[in-house]
Amino acid sequence: GHLVIPRVGAPVMVVMSYLWGYKRGGLRYKARKKLLDVHQVRDFDEATLRELIGDLPAWVKFPDYDRAMWLNNALIKWWPCLSTAICRTVKQRLQKLLQKKKPDLFSSIVFETFSMGSLPPRCSGAKVYNTNEEEIILDLEMTWAATNADIVLSVRLAQGTVALPVQLSQVLFQGTVRLIFKPLVPQWPCFGAISVAFVGKPQVDFSLRLIGGELMSVPGLAPALHDLLKN
């Protein structure tokens, strides 16, 4: 009925002591490495940091920008309705612009489908400007990875030729959107109009695919479309 405690030999004690010391040494090494890494990062310039971790969000770089997580939460709920309205407006305006700016290689270019997908853009920073005018200026730094957007262009190279369906996929966007509410009035919704514009040229990237064929088999099509859509 007595508890028997097994004897632990010297070799076992040596092994256990070694393992315990090895673990403590590993923890000290990780802690020291972390301190050294933090110390080195403090000495990096902005260009080096960008290479290591990419572009920092505006609320990190600039103290006058807010993080605006509330806006991202609202966009998730609002996006199905908002994307439908944006698609309708953007499609109409882009259609006229593409037709006007198309290169001589194309006889016509129209949208067959234009859907922004189910993934909303994200706001990485928001800033409100104080002005002396009766207005509110709000800058939103936006990023958008439209991996499931459905955008198909019908491109015709010459009159009487078959239209080529070209799909835009993996659309990536980054830029600052400026909203101006002006003039401010004492009746709902308390502003007379809202204008929307980009601050500078946004960064846009995408992939092109010829539906049912090989895009590079049509000479000049891919570079001409890239230049037209980006510019």
SS3 category, 150: strand
Say if residue 51's pLDDT is above 80: no
pLDDT of residue 105: 86
- Say which amino acid occupies 185: V
What's residue 211's pLDDT?
92
* pTM for the model: 0.67
52 against 139, higher pLDDT:
139
Residue 125 has pLDDT above 70, yes or no: yes
**Each residue's pLDDT tens digit, 3-44:** 554 555 555 555 555 555 555 556 655 655 554 555 455 555
What's the pLDDT at 6? 55
Number of H helices, E strands in the chain: 5, 6
CA distance 222 to 214: 10
